[in-house]
Amino acid sequence: MSAALRITNLVKRFGGLVATDNLSFDVEDGQSVGLIGPNGAGKTTVFAQIMGEHRQTSGSIELYGREISSDSTPERIRRGVSRTYQVPRPFTDMNVLENIRVGLMPNNIWQMITAKPRYQQETEIALSVGFTETDLQKTPGELAMGDLRKLEMARTIATGTKVMLLDEVFAGLTVAEIAQITVLIQQMRQDGMTFLIVSHDLKALEPLVDKVIAINYGSKIAEGSFNEVLNDEAVRSSYLGAA
Amino acid sequence: MNLRLTHFLMWLAFIALMFAIPEFVSKGTLRTLIFANFLAIFAISWDVLSGRTGYISFGHPFLIGIGAYTSAILTKRFDVPIELAIPAAVAMTMVGGVVVFLPALRIKGSYFALVTLAFMELMYQLVQVIRPDLTGGTRGMSGVQTLTRGAVNGYYLSVSLMLAVALSMWLLMRTQLGTALSAVGMNEESVRGSGLSVTKLKLFAFLTSAFVAGLGGAFYVHYLGSIAPRALFDINFLFTIIVAALIGGASTIIGPVIGAFFLTFLLEYLRPYLPGAERYFIYGMIALLLYMYEPKGLIAIFSKGWQRLRGGAGSEQSSAS
Ligand SMILES: Nc1ncnc2c1ncn2[C@@H]1O[C@H](COP(=O)(O)OP(=O)(O)OP(=O)(O)O)[C@@H](O)[C@H]1O
Ligand SMILES: [Mg+2]
């Protein structure tokens, strides 16, 4: 049985800077994996390469046993991987439902013209990430940071993804909102979703992950259970060094 | 009365009014209205591309020119029947649309606008040097076959074409496709991140815009019966199209139509006072002020006024009862 996501010897150079340094790891189907590391460790850059926003310098990225490195971003999304952004990127002049609508659309001009929006599904997704009925018609400008993160998640869910990459979904959220997103992720895990989660909020991350991978300067410094990795000497000093 | 029915009746009344207009106005005014109808078509064409996707085209006269020249040359020089020449002209314009699309794969913003402006200039130069026996060179062409005789028929033709274009674009933009095209204008990365091919959407917008521009250009030349390259590939003409879409209200269909009529009549009424190019300066100022006051355009001003009116009427009723 091949992994849902397999990263092998991934390298990304930005000029002289090595942002990803010979990184390899697997995320099994249905597994939830935490990706941690200090600021600038290269977590977001890994996401960008998985999605094809940055082309890796070398190494391979496989999704369900199939190499996706030559696919475009929309193609990768259709194969079942999708991400959220640390800095939310909503469609600014669209309300919550319309933002989700774009994610739900088929990538086919003719179907875009003929098919009606799936209002019910849009609403379900919006409510599942914790929006209230009154939020549905609001535009991103009227939403607080926590709500923008929820919208980011909702847009990703809408693509019908099987492997979700979450980049700092808890940043700027209230305790109640974190609890709500936690419940949502747990629910989705039970339904079989695979996760790769980047979070600085380790307390929020702990209950959500089966294993954790720690990176620093783009290379893996530890991998194992949450407690193993957090107690690792190299991980501790990397966080101290960055602070 | 429910809102939908009110809307429907308002549209019906508007269309009826448009068709009744020749009964009430002079031939001169009618000719102005004909120009307004064509300008509205060009502004819709511009808006479908630039208003939606944010790729600001300065090259629309290039597209309109392809439509106009193709149909004029085919009918006049090769005796192709007009009902074949117009579809051929539209097809040629769509090829032109692909040409304008190519730079949009790589560049955005003002660079894209400049490149499209270069297309317009290039076309102006080309029609003068390449095969002037076909294009008529600098002097252009006259004696092109016309579809109608007289202002009244010209008006009916132009208003029908404008309404048909407006209605079909309105229906098209109401679908999920319209939402997707607007999304491209807001954030291309997020469109890609939603699993949609931005390239495909952009290409569709360029082709649709070119289709409308070609249709408008071909019909316009068969209304005028002539082409003057100096007037067609002209920066004032270009800006009139863009300003019509912007001050009317970009990304709506009715906006560019309102903008086109507003501008045409503004220019017309300024004519006695300012016969020269100063007129464009004044209208530029007025357009700028309007745009600063309400960036969403005349359509937003009207709908706010309408709401106030309805609000006012509503409170009167409630106080009376
Ligand atoms: N497009 C780019 N061009 C050049 N350098 C880049 C680029 N993107 C990221 N980097 C560099 O790569 C390194 C890793 O950045 P990345 O954003 O992946 O880190 P991160 O682990 O997500 O950090 P944070 O926790 O702050 O989000 C940093 O040194 C960053 O400056
Ligand atoms: Mg990051």
Q: What percent of chain B has pLDDT over 70?
A: 96
Q: What are the Cα distances from residue B55, in Å, to A90, B64, B188?
A: 19, 17, 11
Interface of chain A toward chain B, CB-CB under 8 angstroms:
51, 53, 72-74, 77-78, 82-83, 85, 89-94, 98, 101-103, 105, 107, 109, 112-117, 155, 158-159
Helix (H, G, I), strand (E, B) or coil at A6: strand
CB B256 within 8 A of CB B166: no
Residue A1's pLDDT is: 55
Report the C-alpha gap between B311 and B186 in whole angstroms: 33
Residue B132: inside a domain:
yes
Residue B107: inside a domain:
yes
DSSP string, B204-253: HHHHHHHHHHHHHHHHHHHHHSEE-HHHHS-HHHHHHHHHHHHHHHTTSS
Residue B248's pLDDT is: 84
Length of chain A: 243
pLDDT at B317 over 70: no
- List Cβ neighbours of B197 (8 Å cut-off, separation of 6 or more): A72, A74, A107
Token readout for B191 is 């469109």
Residue to substitute from A50, A77, A105, interface B, most B β-carbons within 10 A: A105
User: Per-residue confidence at B295, pLDDT binned at 50, 70, 90?
Assistant: confident
Give, for A21, the enclosing helix (H) or strand (E).
Answer: strand A17-27
Residues of B in contact with A91 (CB under 8 A): 182-183, 186-187, 190
**Residue among B172, B180, B204 whose CB faces A105 most closely:** B180
Mean pLDDT of B7-33: 86
Q: Whose CA is nearest to atom 17 of ligand 1?
A: A44
Ligand 1 center from residue B247 Cα (angstroms): 42
Mean pLDDT of A168-190: 89
ipTM of the complex: 0.90
Summarize pLDDT for A151-170 with one digit per residue, the tens. Answer: 999 999 999 999 999 999 88
pLDDT at A2 over 80: no
The architecture that CATH gives domain A1-80+162-237 is: 3-Layer(aba) Sandwich (3.40)
Residue B3's pLDDT is: 62
**Model-level pTM?**
0.89
pLDDT at B226 over 80: yes
pLDDT at A109 over 80: yes
Length of chain B: 321
CB A101 within 8 A of CB B179: yes
User: Per-residue confidence at A103, pLDDT binned at 50, 70, 90?
Assistant: very high
Residue A160's pLDDT is: 93
Summarize pLDDT for B244-286 with one digit per residue, the tens. Answer: 998 888 888 888 998 899 889 888 888 788 777 777 787 778 8
Q: Is A86 in the pocket of ligand 1 (CB under 6 A)?
A: yes
Q: Whose CA is nearest to atom 22 of ligand 1?
A: A44
Least confident of A164-173, A176-185, B104-113: B104-113
Residue B2's pLDDT is: 61
Task: Tell me the average pLDDT of chain A.
Answer: 93
Q: Whose CA is nearest to atom 1 of ligand 1?
A: A14
Residue B314's pLDDT is: 44
Q: Report phi then psi at A22, rounded to 5.
A: 50, 55
Helices (H), B79-197: 82-104, 109-129, 132-135, 150-174, 176-186, 188-193
More confident of the two residues B285 and A100: A100
Q: Is A156 in the pocket of ligand 1 (CB under 6 A)?
A: no
Residue B259: inside a domain:
no
pLDDT at B313 over 70: no
Give the number of beta-carbon pairs within 8 Å between A and B: 82
Mean pLDDT of A147-153: 91
pLDDT at A150 over 80: yes
pLDDT at B83 over 60: yes
Residue A241's pLDDT is: 61
Q: Where are the domains of chain A?
A: 1-80+162-237, 88-160
Chain A: residue whose CA lies nearest to B177: A112
Chain A: residue whose CA lies nearest to B185: A91
CA distance A227 to chain B (A): 34
pLDDT at B53 over 80: yes
**Residue among B176, B195, B200 whose CB faces A117 most closely:** B176
User: Per-residue confidence at B68, pLDDT binned at 50, 70, 90?
Assistant: very high
Count of structural domains within chain B? 1
Residue B57: inside a domain:
yes
Residue to substitute from A53, A68, A91, A95, interface B, most B β-carbons within 10 A: A91
Helices (H), B47-105: 52-53, 60-78, 82-104
End-to-end CA distance of chain A: 41
Report the C-alpha gap between A28 and A3 in whole angstroms: 4
Summarize pLDDT for A49-99 with one digit per residue, the tens. Answer: 999 999 999 999 999 999 999 999 999 999 999 999 989 999 999 999 999
Q: Give the structural domain span for B131.
A: 5-234
More confident of the two residues B280 and A241: B280
Asked whether the beta carbons of residue B183 and residue A115 sit closer than 8 angstroms, the reply is no
Least confident of A51-60, B23-32, B42-51: B23-32
pLDDT at B24 over 60: yes
Asked whether the beta carbons of residue B194 and residue A105 sit closer than 8 angstroms, the reply is yes
Summarize pLDDT for A28-45 with one digit per residue, the tens. Answer: 999 999 999 999 999 999
